[in-house]
Chain A
Amino acid sequence: MHIVVCVKQVPDTKIIKINPKTNTLDRRSAPAILNPYDAHAVQEAVRLKKLVGGTVSVVSMGPPQATAIIKKSVEIGADEGYLISDRAFAGADTLATSYALSKALERIAKIKPIDMVICGKHAIDGDTGQVGPGIARRLDIPPVTNVIEVTEVIEKDKKVVIKRKLTSGYEIIQAQLPCLLTVEKEINEVEYSPLPNMIRAAKYESIIWTVADLENVDKVQLGLKGSPTIVGKMFSPPKPEGGIRLEGTANEQVNKLMDLLMEKKELFTLQTTK
């Protein structure tokens, strides 16, 4: 089986600092990491490879430094890594991103036909979760989003059985291969990388492509030009009509709160226990 995972480099939003005066990000404070959901996606591909054999490739669109997350993916167990990097991709929204990535995937499929594409549920910076299903549409393969378990791969029938998270509960789906999955965090634990992987990753040279290396690309659909959405304005959220600040010592504040809550008696009922 050839599984290709789409991986994105993102700033670590856990560490990122925000300048409270300007409401902007202090980008220097945030190290760039492999999108956490994509780490789970790579891990799942590696797990499936152990199960049924095959190859795991990763592909990313980003600046040249994004090779760092390709190395990280190799540490987790990916065999091959491709980076598409070109000024023409810059400023892409989800529609233009899924277009560029689908062109990269078509190129990879020429090297080795693809049986499954895995994406993260969303990228923690953009936080949309739209790129995965977008790629599936462009490649005309069925998308299965919010996957929490790949239960079974039935290779001879080219089918997979999947658990997909719903608003409440989950569903069990059978999908034909090739298909595209987007994975939730609970799908697996990202394991510590074994030493041989670390050594391989340290030496690994990503395969880097520009637009010129991709085939049948309609340049109008790339980057900023190919993005129907734009950021109109940024603003502070409207402040709700501020509430009451309770005054005084801790005791006084607590007493005051209790009084206020008791005034809203309709919110509480006191049931007498026998």
Chain B
Amino acid sequence: MNLSEYQGVWVFIEQNEGEIEGVSLELLGAGRTLADKLEVPLAGVLLGDGVRSLANQVVYYGADEVYIIDHPVLKDYRTESYMKGVIELAEKYKPEIFLYGATPNGKDLASAVATDLSTGLTADTTMLDIDLENRLFEASRPAFGGNIMATILCKKHRPQMATVRPKVMKALEVDHTRIGKIIEETISLKEEDMRTKVIQIVKDVSKKANLADAHVIICGGKGMGDLQNFQLLYSLADSIGASVGGTRDVVEAGWLPHHLQIGQTGETVTPKIYFAVGLSGAIQHTVGMKNSEIIIAINKDPNAPIFDVATYGIVGDAMEILPKLIEQFNELKNHTGGELSYV
């Protein structure tokens, strides 16, 4: 493999029913930085049915080029049809780096593409960088157990691929003056050749509305002691209209259902205010919440790692602090005769 033949940074643009996923825009932001360091173009790869109109948006968010494959068989995401398109593009244009959102579809696609291209793929990364001296992509992710990150390299194969956690990277400000090159490719796909069919897509927004879109989150950890004490968090949540989430240990203890787990193997959240109560702040947890605007940590151990990411830290017993906080918020409400909410 002649590594120098491979140039440029690519981002797979995931769209669902004509709407680009947030993570793809975030990756254009992250990809822009990588491409600038390498002094190569940044390209978005857009597949679907009737998606040409989305190409401009990809450019406005930072891409120099957009590769498009528009085909009726690509209407819904399917591994077999999408991978065929992506692989043909990658083999023809040879990118050196290729990023995908770590969503169900992004991970599925990236795994299949990596296998066929016989290249390396790093899962669920949270930090991306370039080693300019060796012109190598450094994809880092929290490593198994403990507060440690591992940088994964792919030295001898191209493209260097990674899936990236949603809500970790930042999208650029949309710039409507940006101009990019649109490259449309054709592909031969026949519905009869497809071995899977999407029969129906059922949207469920109820769960999401709870955590991923919440403006204020109260997250409890194992330090709450027991299920009964954990209820204190709901009282605080009630007084400020917040949603309640938990660490994996809390979910394992059965105090909360899995879909309310925050962290690497749960939801990634970016609320305006995040209360971290009685949780230690293991990296698998903090990767899922550290981009919150204000993080308030309450922990009785002054050395708990959560204080390293907290905006405001309170060292103390949650059972003592929480009732006081609830009282204060309730007083504030009564005082102003209003309902507390957040913009």
A associates with B = yes
Confirm or deny: A28 has a beta carbon within 8 angstroms of a beta carbon on chain B: no
Confirm or deny: A266 has a beta carbon within 8 angstroms of a beta carbon on chain B: yes
The listed residue (A14, A125, A229, A254) touching B325 by CB distance below 8 A is A254
B249 partner residues in chain A, CB cutoff 8 A: 14
Give chain B nearest CB distance to A184 CB in angstroms: 9
Number of B interface residues in the complex (CB < 8 A): 95
Interface string of B266-285 (1 = CB under 8 A from A): 00000011000000000100
Interface string of B119-130 (1 = CB under 8 A from A): 111111000000
| Cα of A245 to Cα of B149 in the assembled complex, Å | 26
Confirm or deny: B91 has a beta carbon within 8 angstroms of a beta carbon on chain A: no
Q: Pick the interface stretch among A16-24, A108-116, A193-201.
A: A16-24
The listed residue (B103, B144, B333) touching A25 by CB distance below 8 A is B144
Do B338 and A270 touch across chains, with their CB atoms under 8 A apart?
yes
Confirm or deny: B37 has a beta carbon within 8 angstroms of a beta carbon on chain A: no
Do B120 and A95 touch across chains, with their CB atoms under 8 A apart?
yes
Do B320 and A185 touch across chains, with their CB atoms under 8 A apart?
no
Do A228 and B151 touch across chains, with their CB atoms under 8 A apart?
no
Do A18 and B316 touch across chains, with their CB atoms under 8 A apart?
no
| Cα of A247 to Cα of B194 in the assembled complex, Å | 64
A145 partner residues in chain B, CB cutoff 8 A: 79, 104, 107-108, 111
Give chain B nearest CB distance to A29 CB in angstroms: 10
Interface string of B217-233 (1 = CB under 8 A from A): 00000000000000000
Supposing A250-B316, A258-B328 touch, asked if A133 and B112 sit within 8 A by C-beta, the answer is yes
Do B309 and A174 touch across chains, with their CB atoms under 8 A apart?
no
- Contact residues of B: prevailing secondary structure: mixed
Confirm or deny: B312 has a beta carbon within 8 angstroms of a beta carbon on chain A: yes
The listed residue (B16, B111, B152, B315) touching A231 by CB distance below 8 A is B152
Number of A interface residues in the complex (CB < 8 A): 82
The listed residue (A16, A166, A240) touching B308 by CB distance below 8 A is A240
Confirm or deny: A51 has a beta carbon within 8 angstroms of a beta carbon on chain B: no
| Cα of A73 to Cα of B292 in the assembled complex, Å | 42
Do A273 and B338 touch across chains, with their CB atoms under 8 A apart?
yes
A266 partner residues in chain B, CB cutoff 8 A: 343
Do B146 and A168 touch across chains, with their CB atoms under 8 A apart?
no
Interface string of B246-290 (1 = CB under 8 A from A): 000100100000100000110000001100000000010010001
Interface string of A228-262 (1 = CB under 8 A from B): 11111111110110111110001101110110110
Do B150 and A173 touch across chains, with their CB atoms under 8 A apart?
no
Do B325 and A268 touch across chains, with their CB atoms under 8 A apart?
no
Interface string of B187-211 (1 = CB under 8 A from A): 0000000011111111111011000
| Cα of A166 to Cα of B101 in the assembled complex, Å | 13
Q: Could you say which of B116, B151, B207 has the most chain A C-beta atoms within 10 Å of its C-beta?
A: B151
B151 partner residues in chain A, CB cutoff 8 A: 231-235
Do B265 and A127 touch across chains, with their CB atoms under 8 A apart?
yes
Give chain A nearest CB distance to B334 CB in angstroms: 11
Confirm or deny: B237 has a beta carbon within 8 angstroms of a beta carbon on chain A: no
Q: Which residue of B lies closest to A138 (CB)?
A: B115
User: A: which residues have CB within 8 A of B?
Assistant: 13-14, 16, 18, 23-25, 93-95, 98, 125-130, 132-134, 136-138, 141-146, 161, 164-176, 179, 185-186, 227-237, 239-240, 242-246, 250-251, 253-255, 257-258, 260-261, 264, 266-273
User: B: which residues have CB within 8 A of A?
Assistant: 16, 21, 76, 79-80, 83, 103-105, 107-108, 110-112, 114-116, 118-124, 138, 140, 142-157, 195-205, 207-208, 249, 252, 258, 264-265, 272-273, 283, 286, 290, 293-296, 307-317, 320-321, 324-325, 328, 332-333, 336-343
Q: Lowest 8 A-B CB distances belong to which pairs? A: A228-B120, A133-B111, A128-B123, A229-B120, A169-B204, A18-B146, A137-B115, A243-B311
